[in-house]
Amino acid sequence: MVDEQALAGLKVLDVTHYIAGPFCTKLLADYGADVIKVEKPGKGDGVRRMGPFPGDIPDPEKSGLFLYLNTNKRGITLNLKTKTGVELFKNLVKESDILVENFSPRVMPSLGLDYQTLKKVNPRLVMTSISSFGQTGPYRDCRAAEITLFALSGRMYKTGDPDREPLKYALNVYQYYGGEVASLATLAAVMGRETTGDGEYIDLSILETILGDVENQITWWDFSKEKGVRLNAKNLPLYPWGAFPTKDGFVSIQGVGRGEAWIPRLFTMIGKPELMEDPRFSTPQSRMDNIDEFNALLYSWLADHTKQEIFDEADRVRYPVAPVYSTEELVKNPHYQERDYFVEIDHPRAGKLTYPGAPFKMSRAGWAIRRPAPRLGEHNREVYCELLGYSKDDLVTLRSLDVI
């Protein structure tokens, strides 16, 4: 890498845990920021106890989620429930451009580490608080898992089979999404500070990022009293839309978009271009009237071909269709391999493993792995001694007092 990374020089104090906060700071770290991750002495980030683990054997230094979310960060331990710990923390704030936290909203104020206090310590500080419901409001202190927020956003009601209960999205995708939105808002605030010299406080509610998700279309209620429905191929038959079974799995067909303009491509893809002239199928209404025959043609062709064959045929006619990939198919895929999307990272305890890599590629100064995820307290000496000027003896004392 000839250029320094894009965010080199940006100093981030990271007291986040689990997924949303750490993903926010991971993005900053992976593109060059110097991120110091603060963990509880002894226990560390709670996500260290979450799998996957190699061989399903729990080990706080080998959690796949922790290893992935905390690349490029230096790790220290600090007990914020002690007065000395809070003073040390403020010293670190003084040296930082950015502070990110994702505790429940009561926590930072109860520790005496609210923004108004920290602003006095460092007037240029950009502080980002990520939470489920935001720092204010009737739900502020409510408990939430990923599924809880998805439900309250209005999006879940519209997801799944119309004849069954609503369904959540994959894994923890909105924890990641909330973290990513926090990350971009934080960077913007840093940009703003370059002009004004002022710091900023960012209140990020993960629920609000889902509410504001354009796919959510809550606005249809305001526009036309449409409360939303769960759509799938069953109740929206006119344009093949969604997942369809094939010989060896499923493909996803993008139905909406160019609508009628795509129907000729569909007929060509299934080897029957002449159907464009067929009165049974040549207009939307006639297709609705003959929907069973139309579906029979489509489904039988799909069932006769593999995902890859369909993907290739679709490409020939420029019709958006893609295979439904499993994680194995992602890792082994020639396209992502040629792009070097997956990368191998070595970790002193977990060893060499393959990780997802750069979410985007810059032509210069881009993504790079400088160090793997930190072991608990790995950089205590580097940070407390070299950065803050404490001696090795001081560290011993601090450890004996349970401060670090």
Q: Which of residues 212-241 bind another protein (CB under 8 A)?
A: 212-228, 230-234, 236, 238-239, 241
Closest CB to another protein among residues 76, 101 = 101
CB of 47 to another protein, least distance (A): 10
Contact yes or no for 144/105 (Cβ under 8 A): no
Amino acid sitting at position 285: Q
CB of 217 to another protein, least distance (A): 7
Q: Which helix (H) or strand (E) holds 12?
A: strand 11-14
Say whether residue 196 binds another protein (CB under 8 A). Answer: yes
Contact yes or no for 7/33 (Cβ under 8 A): yes
Closest CB to another protein among residues 91, 282 = 282
Say whether residue 110 binds another protein (CB under 8 A). Answer: no
Please, how many CA atoms are within 13 Å of residue 182, restricted to the half-sphere of its CB? 39
Say whether residue 58 binds another protein (CB under 8 A). Answer: no
Q: Count residues near another protein (CB under 8 A).
A: 163
DSSP 383: I
CB atoms within 10 A of CB 161: 13
Distance, in Å, from the CA atom of 54 to the CA atom of 32, rounded to the nearest integer, reads: 29
Say whether residue 99 binds another protein (CB under 8 A). Answer: no
Say whether residue 309 binds another protein (CB under 8 A). Answer: no
Of the listed pieces 106-114, 269-277, 329-337, 385-393, which binds another protein according to CB under 8 A?
Answer: 329-337
Say whether residue 165 binds another protein (CB under 8 A). Answer: yes
Residue in 38, 93, 187, 270 binding another protein, rule: CB under 8 A: 187
Distance, in Å, from the CA atom of 213 to the CA atom of 205, rounded to the nearest integer, reads: 13
Residue in 1, 184, 296, 303 binding another protein, rule: CB under 8 A: 184
Contact yes or no for 174/146 (Cβ under 8 A): yes
Say whether residue 183 binds another protein (CB under 8 A). Answer: yes
* Subset of residues 14 to 33 that bind another protein, contact rule: CB under 8 A: 27, 31
Closest CB to another protein among residues 338, 393 = 338
* Subset of residues 370 to 399 that bind another protein, contact rule: CB under 8 A: none
**324 CB burial (10 A radius; 0-12, 13-18, 19+):** middle
* 183: nearest Cα among 251, 254, 128: 128
Cβ contacts of 220-229, under 8 Å, gap ≥ 24: 227/157, 228/154, 228/157, 228/158, 229/158, 229/162
CB atoms within 10 A of CB 84: 15
Residue in 111, 117, 278, 336 binding another protein, rule: CB under 8 A: 336
Closest CB to another protein among residues 68, 89 = 68
Say whether residue 79 binds another protein (CB under 8 A). Answer: no
**218 CB burial (10 A radius; 0-12, 13-18, 19+):** middle
Say whether residue 7 binds another protein (CB under 8 A). Answer: yes
Say whether residue 198 binds another protein (CB under 8 A). Answer: yes
Which residues, including other chains, have CB under 8 Å from residue 114's CB and lie 6 or more apart? Answer: 108
Of the listed pieces 38-46, 82-90, 274-282, 349-357, which binds another protein according to CB under 8 A?
Answer: 349-357
CB of 94 to another protein, least distance (A): 19
Contact yes or no for 111/27 (Cβ under 8 A): no
Whose tokens are 């990939």? That residue is 325
Closest CB to another protein among residues 120, 318 = 318
Say whether residue 301 binds another protein (CB under 8 A). Answer: no
* Subset of residues 119 to 158 that bind another protein, contact rule: CB under 8 A: 133-139, 142-145, 147-154, 156-158
Say whether residue 290 binds another protein (CB under 8 A). Answer: no
